[in-house]
């Protein structure tokens, strides 16, 4: 029942989250409109990265503002389009006539009126917008905030948790932020190569990752779950497969995840052969497996590869078969990905996959 | 009136058009400096590239019709959308509008040619060469060895993706050089139009008696002069970065990718107005004639156009709300962008008021113009939505933006280009376009347009970013994308009907006569097609609608105009 599911999302947005409550009140009346209209098209509400079901304060603020703007622009649309339709019906020529209609050259009063009214509308829209810009962009950062550094690469995401000593890729884990226990996440956005843009619509609008121009954005997701997004600034051939998965965890889940990520890589003697191939081939030039000779930083950190659900920045599920296919030829999932095919034989790849499968 | 001399149907006895050898005929088009022939060359050139870029759009839409499609490779997809955008803006939009300006401005102001006919020819051939250079990249992109490729960095070509490290080969160079070359052509035409309107107006035609079409072309030309310059500068900086060890956009050596964005958009946003003001110009001629009324509020229309020209130069960074400007910076560009809505609103109201109380004949040109008013209203309103910076943080680079600017570029500009072709084709060829085919063209194109671009707004709201060659099947975008693609095919059929109409009517069309629409501006006082010298006797005008005065000697305009 996609439509019901989305309606539920929208109803949740009606809960006031502080600030702008009057605006939100107006907005909430109209939130039902897109809630009813749009899900009709959406077949996969649970995995649609919609902008219409915000779950974090910045996304809420934007959504509330957007409904207010929709209300005003909608009113303008229906009045002007109504006039146009009236004019078309009322004044269309019926039959031939020798006479020209009365020539009217203009009217100062009327023209003044339709200049002043738009000016007033602009003033209202501008003030409302400015308020939200400052509220979102200049929100004070609380002490309890979690810091994550996001580094965009062609064509994957690197996530670093500087205070926790964690490095991971493509799947971001952050704690849920509740009224009782606010724990917003602040992302510091950097790029290793070209421009990228971090966009998970349900959590916030997008912010670009630009080399030599650090940016910041924040989110305080109010519901646990998995939220999808992807790179929103064309960054090269595999821009389309630079997907983002954000896991919003309960405090317990998040603590457990952090503890696991902080452990060094599992060292399992049963897969020593795979590890040996991994460490003697070029793999180590790009990948890190903490506690081993692999210290490359060009590609994703693989220390806890198996704690991730996907590989290749979300292009494929993290299964043994997919790992095999990926190592054999990354172009299978991502033609143009920067990881080269290593020209290993099937047996070697099987051994590497066996090794990787132990990296929990 | 004694000084009211308008030779409506009295051209000088012309040498009977004799059949000239084919080669001579071709030669005459290559060496011509006649503004009408050059105007037609521009228009034919633009229509050719319209078909090319339209075909590119269709390939894009086939690739996106279903998730995980393998119709084209990611590399080819990137080339397709880069070439589609670059072609539509620089090889279709600008040339066709300058084509109309070339053809019509001298006729409308009662001149015999442009101020600088040779510069005019030079400008056209530069533009034409720029287009050829861009498409030559397909064979020359990798320097003539191995396979060629077209530019693939997007028509906005953000640094540092354009750096040699990320885009080796020569395709980006072709892109930059092609735009520099066609940019110089554009500058030449802009200078020419400004000089023509300021110095070649016929007796009695003061600035405030110029047809609004001419006013808008004048403003567009001024805007072009201001905005092409930073684009050319940016392209030169890009080439210096790529070949001479410059670091303008190289972040690793202290350069800034954001500098490229500023240069590009201080060109790129006014460019939208360079394209849309000529569309307004067309509406300003067509809507009054088919409503049988003078344009409502002429002075306000002039003022609004000049206002749009100035304000449009202050809004560029609304393309950059997501690059991390300060909150104050963002707020400034929100205000300037919203302010464009005011003069634009005035224009829409004035068109409605022109239709109000008229007797509207819905011939094909008027159908297209009416649809233009409706679509431009919607495009303006989605523009307001995008000017709201926080909402833009969501919508930027999503399909909502694609929908918005196609509403402007297709819904407003292309619709009015069609209106203009239906309206002035009889003047240029002496034959009417088929109304039956025209109505088919209009309704099919209208339906296809709305299927495609209305739907795009929704898929954008559901989080689909632009520039992606494919998408995951679980994102809820499948049905919408299929609908969008189907609309694309409907539009393609309509455009093919139009192309057929152009050819068919050239041979079989009904003879047009001098003034088939019972219109009021000077070009309709010449034969169709007009002779090389345009006017046998220099016309003298006393109002904005000289032919109205002539047709209504007892009730002329100059008694009432203010």
Q: What secondary structure does DSSP assign to A110-166, as a single string?
A: HHHHHHHHHHHHHHHHHHHHHHHHHHHHTPPPPTTPEEEEEEEETTEEEEEETTTTE
- In this prediction, what percent of chain B has a pLDDT beyond 70? 95
Judging by beta carbons within 10 Å of its beta carbon (0-12, 13-18, 19+), is residue B118 exposed, middle or buried? exposed
User: Which residues lie across from A169 on neighbouring strands?
Assistant: A158
Cβ under 8 Å to B: A residues 267-286: none
C-alpha distances (whole Å) from B141 to each of A100, B132, B148, B153, B171 are: 59, 13, 5, 13, 4
Tell me whether B479 touches chain A (CB under 8 Å).
yes
- Alpha carbon distance A315, A311 (integer Å): 6
Q: How many other C-beta atoms can be found within 10 angstroms of the C-beta atom of residue A35?
A: 19
Number of domains, chain B: 1
Query: Quick one: pLDDT at residue A20?
Result: 44
Tell me whether B253 touches chain A (CB under 8 Å).
no
Per the CB < 8 Å rule, is B390 touching A48? no
* CB-based contact B478:B66 (threshold 8 Å): yes
Mean pLDDT value of segment B203-214: 95
Helices (H), B388-539: 389-395, 399-406, 415-429, 435-461, 478-508
**Where along chain A do its domains lie?**
2-94+103-137, 146-262, 269-356
Query: Quick one: pLDDT at residue A14?
Result: 38
Whether residue B165 has pLDDT greater than 50: yes
Is residue B19 one of the residues assigned to a domain? no
Mean pLDDT value of segment B6-11: 51
Phi/psi for A330 (5° steps) reads -55, -25
Q: What is the pLDDT of residues B29-41, one digit of tens each?
A: 999 999 999 999 9
Is residue B21 one of the residues assigned to a domain? no
Query: Quick one: pLDDT at residue B395?
Result: 97
Q: What is the pLDDT of residues B123-145, one digit of tens each?
A: 999 999 999 999 999 887 665 44
CATH number assigned to the domain comprising residue B320 = 1.20.210.10
pLDDT in tens, chain A (360 residues): 344 344 344 433 434 344 444 444 444 444 444 544 455 455 566 789 999 999 999 999 999 999 999 999 999 999 999 999 999 999 999 887 778 899 999 999 999 999 999 999 999 999 999 999 999 999 999 998 999 999 999 999 999 999 999 999 999 999 999 988 899 999 999 999 999 999 999 999 999 999 999 999 999 999 999 999 999 999 999 999 999 999 999 999 999 999 999 999 999 899 999 999 999 999 999 999 999 999 999 999 999 999 999 999 999 999 999 999 999 999 988 998 999 998 899 999 999 999 999 999
- Alpha carbon distance B123, B185 (integer Å): 4
Rg (CA), chain A: 27
- Alpha carbon distance A31, A52 (integer Å): 9
Is residue B17 one of the residues assigned to a domain? no
Q: How many other C-beta atoms can be found within 10 angstroms of the C-beta atom of residue A15?
A: 10
C-alpha distances (whole Å) from A285 to each of A156, A305, B128, B380, B530 are: 17, 17, 49, 52, 72
CATH number of A146-262: 2.60.40.420
* CB-based contact B126:B177 (threshold 8 Å): no
- Alpha carbon distance B343, A321 (integer Å): 61
Q: Which helix or strand (DSSP H or E) is residue B229 part of?
A: helix B212-243
Residues from chain B contacting residue A65 (CB–CB below 8 Å): 388, 390-391
Query: Quick one: pLDDT at residue B482?
Result: 96
- Which residue in the set A81, A110, A336 is minimally distant from B374, CB to CB? A81
Q: Which of A148, A158, A169 is closest to A191 using CA atoms?
A: A158
Residues from chain A contacting residue B327 (CB–CB below 8 Å): 133-134, 137-138
3-class secondary structure, A175: strand
- Residue B74 confidence class, pLDDT cut points 50, 70, 90: very high
Phi-psi group of A332: left, alpha or beta (phi > 0 → left; psi -120 to 50 → alpha; rest → beta): alpha
Is residue B23 one of the residues assigned to a domain? no
Q: What is the pLDDT of residues B276-301, one digit of tens each?
A: 999 999 999 999 999 999 999 999 99
- Which residue in the set B300, B324, B378 is minimally distant from A77, CB to CB? B378
Kindly provide the ipTM of the predicted complex, given to two decimals. 0.92
- Alpha carbon distance A146, A143 (integer Å): 9
- Alpha carbon distance B383, A256 (integer Å): 46
Is residue B273 one of the residues assigned to a domain? yes
Q: CATH assignment of A269-356, given 2.60.40.420, 3.40.50.11030, 3.10.520.10, 1.20.1080.10?
A: 2.60.40.420
What's the start-to-end Cα distance of chain B, in Å?
20
- Residue B18 confidence class, pLDDT cut points 50, 70, 90: low
Domain that holds residue B477: 37-559
Q: What is the pLDDT of residues B445-494, one digit of tens each?
A: 999 999 999 999 999 999 999 999 999 999 999 999 999 999 999 999 99
Is residue B7 one of the residues assigned to a domain? no
Q: Indicate if the alpha-carbon torsion angle B323, B477, A71, A222 is positive or negative.
A: negative
- Residue B397 confidence class, pLDDT cut points 50, 70, 90: very high
- Alpha carbon distance B562, B556 (integer Å): 13
């Amino acid at each position: 029942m996609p439509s019901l599911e989305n309606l539920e999302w929208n109803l949740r947005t009606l809960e006031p989250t502080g600030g702008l409550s009057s605006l939100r009140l107006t907005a909430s009346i109209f939130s039902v409109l897109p809630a009813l209209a749009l899900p009709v098209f959406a077949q996969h509400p649970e995995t649609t990265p919609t902008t219409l079901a915000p779950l974090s304060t910045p996304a809420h603020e934007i959504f509330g503002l957007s409904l207010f703007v929709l209300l005003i622009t909608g009113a303008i649309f229906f009045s002007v389009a109504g006039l146009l339709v009236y004019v078309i019906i009322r004044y269309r020529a019926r039959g031939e006539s020798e006479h020209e209609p009365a020539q009217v050259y203009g009217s100062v009063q009327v023209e003044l009126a339709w200049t002043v009214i738009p000016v007033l509308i602009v003033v209202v829209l501008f003030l409302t917008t400015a308020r939200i810009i400052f509220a979102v962009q200049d929100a004070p950062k609380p002490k309890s905030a979690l810091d994550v550094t996001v580094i965009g690469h062609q064509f994957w995401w690197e996530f670093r948790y500087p205070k926790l000593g964690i490095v991971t890729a493509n799947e971001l884990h952050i704690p849920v932020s509740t009224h009782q226990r606010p724990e917003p996440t602040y992302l510091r956005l950097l790029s290793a190569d070209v421009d990228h843009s971090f966009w998970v619509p349900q959590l916030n609008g997008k912010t670009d990752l630009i080399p030599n121009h650090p940016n910041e954005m924040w989110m305080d997701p109010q519901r646990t779950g998995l939220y999808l997004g992807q790179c929103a600034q064309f960054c090269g051939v595999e821009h389309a497969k630079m997907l983002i998965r954000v896991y919003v965890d309960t405090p317990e889940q998040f603590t457990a995840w952090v503890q696991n990520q902080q452990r060094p890589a599992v060292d399992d003697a049963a897969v020593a052969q795979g590890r040996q191939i991994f460490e003697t081939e070029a793999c180590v030039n790009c990948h890190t497996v903490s506690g081993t000779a692999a210290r490359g930083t060009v590609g994703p950190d693989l220390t806890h590869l198996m704690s991730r659900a996907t590989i290749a920045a979300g292009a494929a599920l993290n299964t043994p078969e997919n790992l095999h296919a990926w190592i054999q030829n990354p172009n299978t999932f991502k033609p143009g990905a920067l990881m080269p095919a290593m020209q290993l034989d099937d047996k070697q790849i099987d051994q590497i996959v066996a090794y990787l499968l132990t990296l929990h | 009136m004694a000084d009211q001399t308008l030779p409506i149907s009295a051209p000088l006895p012309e040498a009977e058009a004799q059949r000239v050898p084919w080669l001579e005929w071709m030669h005459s088009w290559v060496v011509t400096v006649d503004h009408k022939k050059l105007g037609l060359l521009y228009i034919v050139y633009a229509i050719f590239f319209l078909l090319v870029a339209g075909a590119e759009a269709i390939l894009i839409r086939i690739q996106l019709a279903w998730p995980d499609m393998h119709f084209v490779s990611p590399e080819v997809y990137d080339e397709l959308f880069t070439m589609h955008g670059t072609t539509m803006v620089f090889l279709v939009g600008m040339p066709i509008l300058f084509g109309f300006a070339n053809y019509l401005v001298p006729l409308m102001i009662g001149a015999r040619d442009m101020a600088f006919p040779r510069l005019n020819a030079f400008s056209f051939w530069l533009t034409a060469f720029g287009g050829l250079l861009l498409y030559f990249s397909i064979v020359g992109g990798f320097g003539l060895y191995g396979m060629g490729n077209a530019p693939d960095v997007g028509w906005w070509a953000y640094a540092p993706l354009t750096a040699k490290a990320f885009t080796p080969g020569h395709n980006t160079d072709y892109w930059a050089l092609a735009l520099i070359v066609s940019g110089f052509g554009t500058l030449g035409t802009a200078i020419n139009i400004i000089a023509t309107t300021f110095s070649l107006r016929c007796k009695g035609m003061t600035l405030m008696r110029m047809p609004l079409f001419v006013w808008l072309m004048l403003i567009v030309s001024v805007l072009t002069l201001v905005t092409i310059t930073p684009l050319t500068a940016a392209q030169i900086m890009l080439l210096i970065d790529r070949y001479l060890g410059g670091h303008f956009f190289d972040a690793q050596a202290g350069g800034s990718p954001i500098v490229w964005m500023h240069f590009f958009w201080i060109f790129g946003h006014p460019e939208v107005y360079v394209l849309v003001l000529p569309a307004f110009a067309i509406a300003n001629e067509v809507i009054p004639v088919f409503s049988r009324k003078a344009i409502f509020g002429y002075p306000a229309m002039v003022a609004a156009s000049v206002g749009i020209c100035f304000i449009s130069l202050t809004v560029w960074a609304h393309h950059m709300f997501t690059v991390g400007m300060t909150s104050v910076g963002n707020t400034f560009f929100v205000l300037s962008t919203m302010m464009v809505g005011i003069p634009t609103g005035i224009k829409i109201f004035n068109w409605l008021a022109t239709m109000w109380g008229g007797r509207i004949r819905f011939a094909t040109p008027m159908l297209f113009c009416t649809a233009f008013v409706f679509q431009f209203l919607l495009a303006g309103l989605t523009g307001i939505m995008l000017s709201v910076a926080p909402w833009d943080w969501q919508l930027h680079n999503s399909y909502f933006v694609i929908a918005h600017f196609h509403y402007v570029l297709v819904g407003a500009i292309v619709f009015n280009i069609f209106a203009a072709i239906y309206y002035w084709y009889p003047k240029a060829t002496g034959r009417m376009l088929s109304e039956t085919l025209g109505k088919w063209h209009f309704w099919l194109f209208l339906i296809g347009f709305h299927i495609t671009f209305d739907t795009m707004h929704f898929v954008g709201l559901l989080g689909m970013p632009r520039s992606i060659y494919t998408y995951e099947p679980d994102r809820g975008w499948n049905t919408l994308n299929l609908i969008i693609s189907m609309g694309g095919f409907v539009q393609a059929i309509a455009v093919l009907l139009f192309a057929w109409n152009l050819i068919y009517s050239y041979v079989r069309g009904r003879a047009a006569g001098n003034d088939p629409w019972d219109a009021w501006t000077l070009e309709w006082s010449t034969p169709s097609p007009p002779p090389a010298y345009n006017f046998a006797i220099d016309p003298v005008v006393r109002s904005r609608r000289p032919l109205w005065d002539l047709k209504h000697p007892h009730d002329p305009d100059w008694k009432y105009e203010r």
